[in-house]
Chain A
Amino acid sequence: MIIITPDEFKRVSQATREDGRAPDEIRPLKIEAGILERADGSSYLELGDNKILAAVYGPREAQIKRLQRPDRAVIRCRYNMAPFSVKERKRPGPDRRSVEISKITAEALRPALILERFPRSVIDVFIEVLEAEGGTRCAGITAASVALADAGMPMKDMVVACAAGKVNGRIVLDLSEEEDKRGEADMPVAILPRKKEITLLQSDGNLTQEEFKEALDLAIKGCLKINKIQKEALKKKYGE
């Protein structure tokens, strides 16, 4: 007979995932700020096997007059996946998914920016996914926020995103592509870390109320970890 003692149970529940991570562990993360010469602000981010480049241009004069707002700047966002970013070649150009992600990224970033400082102008954010391995929308938001800060945009706070989800009945942080495919649920969350305000919350799959709360708490914890790396990346650019 096998008896599982409470200690044993704890060990089993904390057992590693497929890629050897603990349930509350994010993939190895590397962020670098200001890597593009011609952009006003830029960043490069690696999260596990994700490789993402973000560039910010502006605030600059709106070339399309109908986009202008007399009292504030407008943020435009483009999320794009390179044809070679996934195993099977992706048809280049925007598709339903990337249009959605572009929209939610702009909406996730907007509350952090002090747009009233630049009336009648536009800020362009470009997120290019060079290599994708699950969780690119979160990584994209994280990278875009670093690029915006690097561009010298006045901001109320940084924006940081991280996903939590349910895989094999267990709530885990920062799902990889494999986990996302096999898992029961995936929930990307973006927050403003200082006040912990949520600017993005999506959910794909089924979660009970308790599981949802657990996943949200876990995602916020993950966001705070990522936020530290974001700050370090920005300070590192100016040699600290």
Chain B
Amino acid sequence: MILVKDKDIVVPGEVLAKNDYYPGRGTFKEDNKICSSHIGLVSIRNKQISVIPLVSKYIPKRGDVVIGEITDIRFSMWGLDINSPYSGFLPASEVFGKEKRGLENIFNIGDVLFLKVVDVNEVKKVKLGLKGRGLGKFKGGVLVYITPSKVPRLIGKRGSMINMIKEKTRCNIVVGQNGVVWVKGDPEMEKVAREVILMIDREAHTSGLTNRVRYTLTGTYKEG
């Protein structure tokens, strides 16, 4: 027996279904009842009910690409804020070989880096790395923070949404899976891109968003 419809907004503790359904992400089972554990949108796929959270914190996962800001320099590593309950660290060995001198000459506090999560251990110590295509330090640009669970919406199907924003604003945009977005381009266009990204974050759960984004972009584009 099902008590909710697809795309309904539910709150924590709400009973979604009884018996013959399976609990998915964002739900839990209790006495044959499937309940929501987040505030989010219901999604039903072949008898599996899950709740897509409307707000979430980023939980680091191995293989993710993230954007982090350096907050700390120690003897042989940098400490980074990755917009998560857990801070990450970048070992000096990721940057140079055996010598470990003058870390602050390479990256200093406040620098923004594009990194890869190399490993997350049992106690959620997040090891970051710089080995990979496109990874490294950002020069200039602005950062926009969105809810990590809305990153797929910002990218869109095969990058349709993000490519549209890139094309219309002529900005360089990099999206980290931790909900940090780096935008660089013409200062005016940076502002436009920022507004659009925040709009997607706010309205990610509504339908017809792509069209509204297109309208906002072409509207402001013509004026500017």
Contacts and interface: CB of A to CB of B under 8 A. Distances in A.
Contacts, number: 78
A151 interface: yes
B1 interface: no
A70 B13 contact: no
Contacts of B131: none
Interface stretch (B48-56, B133-141, B183-191): B48-56
B205 interface: yes
B64 to A, nearest CB: 17
Interface string B10-43: 0111110000000000101010000101110000
Nearest to A159: B13
B86 A120 contact: yes
Interface size class on chain B is 20 to 34
A156 B37 contact: yes
Interface in A28-60: 40-41, 58-60
Nearest to B39: A149
B37 A155 contact: yes
Contact of A194 (B26, B35, B54): B35
B56 A152 contact: yes
Nearest to B10: A235
A60 B85 contact: yes
Main secondary structure of the interface of B (DSSP, over half): loop
B85 A152 contact: no
B38 A152 contact: yes
Interface string A57-97: 01111000000001001000000000000000000000000
A11 B12 CA distance: 40
Interface in A139-166: 149-158
B28 to A, nearest CB: 7
B124 interface: yes
A235 B39 CA distance: 9
Given A120-B123, A150-B55, A59 B85 contact: yes
A126 interface: no
A163 B38 CA distance: 27
B124 A158 contact: no
Contacts of B12: 112, 149, 153-158
Interface of B: 9, 11-15, 26, 28, 30, 35, 37-39, 53-57, 85-87, 123-124, 147, 205-206
29 contacts: A41-B55, A59-B85, A61-B87, A70-B123, A112-B12, A118-B57, A119-B123, A121-B86, A149-B11, A151-B55, A152-B38, A152-B53, A152-B55, A152-B56, A152-B147, A155-B13, A156-B12, A158-B12, A158-B13, A192-B13, A193-B13, A194-B35, A230-B11, A231-B11, A235-B9, A238-B9, A238-B54, A238-B205, A239-B206
